[in-house]
Amino acid sequence: MARIRTDLCILGAGSGGLSLAAGAVQMGARVVLVEGHRMGGDCLNYGCVPSKALLAAAKQAQSMRQGGCGIPGVAPQIDYAAAMAHVQATIATIEPHDSVERFEGLGVRVIPAWGRFLNEGEVEAGGHIIRARRFVIATGARPSIPPIPGLDKVPYLTNETLFDLRERPGHLLILGGGPIGMEMAQAHRRLGAEVTVIEAERALNREDPELAAIVLDRLRAEGVRLIEGTRAERISGQPGAVTVETARGPLTGTHLLVATGRLPALDRLDLAAAGIEATQAGVSVGPDLRSSNRRVYAIGDAAGGMQFTHVAGYHAGVVIRPILLGLPARAGTAHIPQVTYTDPELARIGPTEAEARATHGPRLEIARFAFSGNDRAIATGRTEGLIKVMVLRGRPIGVSIAGEGAGDLIGLWAFALANGLKMADIAKMVAPYPTLGEVSKRAAGAYFSPRLFENPWVKRAVRITQRLLP
């Protein structure tokens, strides 16, 4: 076995591992990056990128079908294989950025193999023994497959196989109404498939129900059949005919997509050999993302917590400080946004209204503004939408937005929360007219309006001043 000595060994070349490798090598560290499967990880190959590309194709089809602004709709000619070719072309365009060639060009040593710990300070991968000053586990997550009787005997899809389809499913059954389930439900419905979602609780149940309802109403109106509060009890069938038995009766479709959550991918690592503690949720880490083995950190999906590409990238930025410079660093969550890319989009940062009320009680104030009052939304015919801001002592602590462009609109609030800005700072902003961005300013306006317009002291001050002014 060849021996390698290095400063930093990263396991997993997905969103987190790649960000860390690029940053660390360019700052002068010797970096070994171990990847057992595809560079770019889940996000590029089976996650964010293909799902957003398919949603874009579906949105194109829907805008033709729906028409609007005086232009009548037309029946789109949908070629599912062509939509999937667009998905693959999107991946192929982004791929070079995450490639072995690019990282080797930066000076990273890439080992294309699965890695596993041999002891507290060594990893074995592809016939190499890597001894590093620090290790970072960035091995991501994979679909969690629920133990439903019969599921192991039928053909089913996950996000890892869905994008390989070239023939449109006639009727796609989806187990799970989380972000994966709802994004893929809308994409497939708009591309012409029949779609039924079976959700054990409430669809999009981590979101504010009032805002989730805006999205779910739209999906239902487009023909997605949503069966909530129902578990799959037994599954049977064969290719082309899969039946899910539920308390509300059997449901039969041509394909089944399992989207019931994701579990950290730790099984190949032999964590015990390195004294690294973990639970089902992920590697056990403190706020500094350090594991029970002080040489080893975990980032991204492998660290449990929020499963998003931007979180993996953020984690990379957090651990680079102690690893390269010995400086302290802590990862927070209060300023992390998340977006479900249905149409309309659903974006959130911080707690929902119910969560914020449970923590802060009557001290919490809520500012809201509906997209129906935004001139741009009216001009484009996209008036379904709402922004809701949770405010504590003049500062926003949480924001939920459902509506066209919500994922971009949440950016302003992510900036505000990351920098501890106040509602007054948002109110100071002059937003260009007519833009959807005005909804943020109007929400801040809604917060100050009662203070300004319903305040007898303000009225009295104005009357006195008016008497005194020449």
Ligand X SMILES: NC(=O)c1ccc[n+]([C@@H]2O[C@H](COP(=O)([O-])OP(=O)(O)OC[C@H]3O[C@@H](n4cnc5c(N)ncnc54)[C@H](O)[C@@H]3O)[C@@H](O)[C@H]2O)c1
Ligand Y SMILES: Cc1cc2nc3c(=O)[nH]c(=O)nc-3n(C[C@H](O)[C@H](O)[C@H](O)COP(=O)(O)OP(=O)(O)OC[C@H]3O[C@@H](n4cnc5c(N)ncnc54)[C@H](O)[C@@H]3O)c2cc1C
Residue 178 assigned to a binding site: yes
Do residues 148 and 232 touch, judged by C-beta distance below 8 A?
yes
Residue 373 assigned to a binding site: no
Among 16, 176, 385, 398, binds ligand X (CB under 6 A): 176
Cβ closest to ligand Y, residue 159 vs residue 291: 159
Q: Which two tokens stand for residue 333?
A: 């969550």
Pairing between β-strand 296-298 and β-strand 128-137 as defined by DSSP bridges: parallel
232 binds, among ligand Y, ligand X, none (CB under 5 to 8 A by kind): ligand X
Task: Report in angstroms how near the CB of residue 306 gets to ligand X at its nearest.
Answer: 6
Cβ closest to ligand X, residue 28 vs residue 229: 229
Alpha carbon 347 to its chain's center = 9
Q: Which two tokens stand for residue 62?
A: 């829907």
Task: Report in angstroms how near the CB of residue 47 gets to ligand Y at its nearest.
Answer: 3
14 binds, among ligand Y, ligand X, none (CB under 5 to 8 A by kind): ligand Y
Q: Is 178 in the site for ligand X (CB under 6 A)?
A: yes
List the x/- string, 335-364, binding to ligand X by CB under 6 A: ---xxxx-----------------------
Estimate the crossing angle of helix 80-94 against helix 48-66, to 10 degrees: 140
Instruction: Identify the residue whose tokens are 């002592």.
Output: 393
Alpha-carbon distances, residue 427 vs 363, 421, 440 (angstroms): 21, 11, 9
Instruction: Round to whole Å and give the CA distance between 163 and 424.
Output: 46
Instruction: Identify the residue whose tokens are 């072995």.
Output: 100
- What are phi and psi for residue 462, nearest 5 degrees? -65, -40
Residue 301 assigned to a binding site: yes
Cβ closest to ligand Y, residue 110 vs residue 251: 110
**Can you say whether residue 140 is alpha, beta or left, with left for phi > 0 and alpha for psi between -120 and 50 degrees?**
left
Instruction: Round to whole Å and give the CA distance between 277 and 287.
Output: 15
Cβ closest to ligand Y, residue 300 vs residue 396: 300
Among 49, 125, 136, 180, binds ligand X (CB under 6 A): 180
CA-CA-CA-CA dihedral for 159, 163, 168, 173, to nearest 10: 0
Q: Is 175 in the site for ligand X (CB under 6 A)?
A: yes
List the x/- string, 196-235, binding to ligand X by CB under 6 A: --xxxx---x-------------------------xx---
Q: Is 161 in the site for ligand X (CB under 6 A)?
A: no
Cβ closest to ligand X, residue 325 vs residue 354: 354
312 binds, among ligand Y, ligand X, none (CB under 5 to 8 A by kind): ligand Y
352 binds, among ligand X, ligand Y, none (CB under 5 to 8 A by kind): none
Q: Is 411 in the site for ligand X (CB under 6 A)?
A: no
Counting every residue written for the chain, the total comes to: 470
Residue 192 assigned to a binding site: no
Instruction: Round to whole Å and give the CA distance between 289 and 274.
Output: 16
Task: Report in angstroms how near the CB of residue 181 gets to ligand X at its nearest.
Answer: 5
- Which residue type occupies 5? R
- Which residue type occupies 120? E
Q: What is the binding site for ligand X (CB under 6 A)?
A: 146, 148, 175-181, 183, 198-201, 205, 231-232, 259-262, 307-308, 338-341
Q: Known binding site: residues?
A: 52, 115, 176-183, 199, 261, 301
